[in-house]
Structure 1
Amino acid sequence: MPSKYATYIRKSTAEQDDKHQRQDIKVWLDNHNLKIGDVDVYSEQGSGASADRDEFLALINEIESDTYTDVVVWEVSRIARKGFLAQRFFDSCEDAGVTIHITNGSIREIEPNGTGRLVADIIASVAAEERRQLIRRTRSGQRRAREQGKWLGQVPAGFARVDGYLKPNLDPDYSSGETGFLDVVEALESVEAGDSYNKTAGRTPNITRQTLSTIHQDDERRAWYLDLEADDDRVLDAVSELDV
């Protein structure tokens, strides 16, 4: 059968840019007298550790259906960051007689006869271990931050994060979508007095009915604002600044 090429491009997050992948692949195609219009492009955003990638799975299905003779990728880590996923891809290409071309890295081809496979397996294993180490470092950093009393994750309504620590937002920038701590207090007091969630949220800057009702119906969270009490020491330290 005549040669039929595909390329796979993956970025992990919306903030990442895949232009460098596309540019390097275009250079490779130019050097092999191919145009991007002659190649089927599979491109997506997703974690290399996830097997639930639509374009990745679609490409494997096409490979196993003998659609392609060659697949071009930027580097092995774009295929997968878990060993068993990389192995699945390599096995599918090997069984279908597909050559994998890699534009960047210490190996440039993985051929169906097994040439280059050993090095690719090692590279994939290293990428998987790097991911595991990153996860371990991230978790360790999170533990240290929690032990130091720092707030991780989404900041609750009416609060701000200052140098990593939770603080009541007493000077909100409404134009930036912030809600003040005292705004939330006043809103909860209005609900307690009998006003509806809709009416109260409508006059409270940057707070939705859903957020207001969620806070009000959660005994612990409601106490943060109305009683300046909290089971979470990080929140207690923050609201204690107002308990004078």
Structure 2
Amino acid sequence: MARYATYIRASTDDQETSHQRDAIDEWLSQHEVDSSEIDRYVDLAQSGADPGREQFTELVDAIQSESYEYVVVWEISRLARLGSIYQRFFEHCEDAGTTVAITDGWVEEVRPDGTGKLIADISAAVAEEERRRLTKRIESGVSRAQREGKWLGRVPKGFRRDDDGYLQLIHEADRDAGEISYLEMRSAIERVDDGESYRSVAADTPNIGRSTIMSIDKNEDRRAWYLDAEADDGRVDQVLTNTTD
């Protein structure tokens, strides 16, 4: 039975996680941990404020079954970005006798007897406050940009952002830039609508992943962007209307 568990989390599909893996693997190597003793858990495109992350939930269940001596993470923020989730996680570890090793943090270990917990709590509280402040700044910036008709954040597939921050429809995709044209994205959604699987459509559609196609297909507003050329968001609707006209 594995004695060690590792946990990696990224907030988006395209967020780099190699630095987390490298730091964790270095810790395991330094402690001469055999690969057969490791269970690895990874949540991609998952918020740290979500307690229902699939792999995180499986990890907590395993900890409660007293499966692990150590859980190794890169930063405490990878476990949770809300104090309530964070506190429950460490309570489970304390009850199960599990030590949490942190490769890049204010404290190296949080042990079941409480050693390191105070510093970890302070670190988590600082991270949560930084998150609140960042969220407020983002909300303010988004509101301002929306009033001006600009687009902030990830650009939707089939669109690009011009130098002034406004959306444009992609007619000819730049493959090297990872683009897909609007009509290619529309065709992908139409194929799914006709019964093809997400995996099949993604396999022969450049620069588009299965998870992206699925997320658009399951979002009625987003589907309408491509199938009906309509959008409730004025910034997107303006682009579609101008193109139609």
TM range, smaller chain: 0.5 to 0.7
TM-score, with structure 2 as normaliser: 0.67
For residue 228 of structure 2, what is the amino acid of its counterpart? T
Q: CA offsets per residue over residues 6-61 of structure 1, 9 Å max, x none?
A: 11111221111211111111111111111333211111211111112111111111
- Contact 1:48 / 1:81 at 8 angstroms: preserved in 2? yes
| Aligned residue type for 1:123 | S
Matches within 5 A, 1:74-223: 74-151=74-151, 161-162=161-162, 163-165=164-166, 172-173=171-172, 177-178=181-182, 214-215=228-229
CA distance in 1: counterparts of 2:239 and 2:227, whole angstroms: 24
Q: Which residue of 1 aligns with 2:71?
A: 71
Please report how far the alpha carbon of residue 149 of structure 1 lies from its aligned counterpart in structure 2 after TM superposition: 3.1
Which amino acid counterpart does residue 214 of structure 1 have in structure 2?
D
Give ranges in structure 2 of 5+ residues lacking alignment. Answer: 175-179, 184-222
Change (3 A) 1:4 1:212: closer
Structure-1 residue corresponding to 2:29 = 30
Higher Rg of the two aligned structures = 1
Deviation at 1:145, TM superposition (A): 0.8
Task: Return the letter of the residue paired with 1:110.
Answer: V
Q: 2: distance between equivalents of 1:233 and 1:9?
A: 35
Whole-Å separation in 1 of the counterparts to 2:58 and 2:43 = 11
- Cα 1:72/1:148, change in 2 over 3 Å: same
Question: For residue 224 of structure 1, what is the aligned residue in structure 2?
Answer: none
In the superposition, relative to structure 1, how do residues 35 and 155 fare at CA in structure 2: closer, same or farther (>3 Å)?
closer
* Secondary structure class of the residue paired with 2:228: helix
Structure 2 counterpart SS, 1:42: strand
Q: What's the secondary structure of 2:33's corresponding residue?
A: coil
Matches of 1:136 and 1:69, distance apart in 2: 39
Q: Check whether the contact 1:68–1:98 (CA below 8 A) recurs between aligned residues.
A: yes
Could you tell me which runs of 5 or more consecutive residues in structure 1 were left unpaired when the two chains were aligned. 180-208, 222-230
In 2, are the aligned partners of 1:150 and 1:166 still within 8 Å (CA)?
yes
After superposition, the Cα gap between the structure-2 partners of 1:69 and 1:165, relative to the gap in structure 1 and judged at 3 Å, is closer
- Where 1:71 maps in the other structure, the secondary structure is strand
User: Identity of paired residues, percent?
Assistant: 44
Q: Report how far residue 172 of structure 1 moved.
A: 3.9
Q: Secondary structure at the match of 1:25?
A: helix
**1:101-149 CA distance string (max 9 Å, x none):** 1111120010111111111111111222222222111111111112223
What SS does the aligned partner of 2:12 have?
coil
CA-atom RMSD, angstroms?
A: 3.8
* Native 8 Å contact 1:166 1:238 kept in 2: no
Aligned length: 199
What amino acid does structure 2 have at the position aligned with 1:177?
S
For 1:237 and 1:211, locate their aligned partners in 2 and report how far apart those are by CA, in whole Å: 10
Deviation at 1:177, TM superposition (A): 2.1
User: 1:160, 1:54 → 2: CA distance?
Assistant: 32
Is the 1:49–1:81 contact (alpha carbons within 8 Å) kept by the matching residues of 2? yes
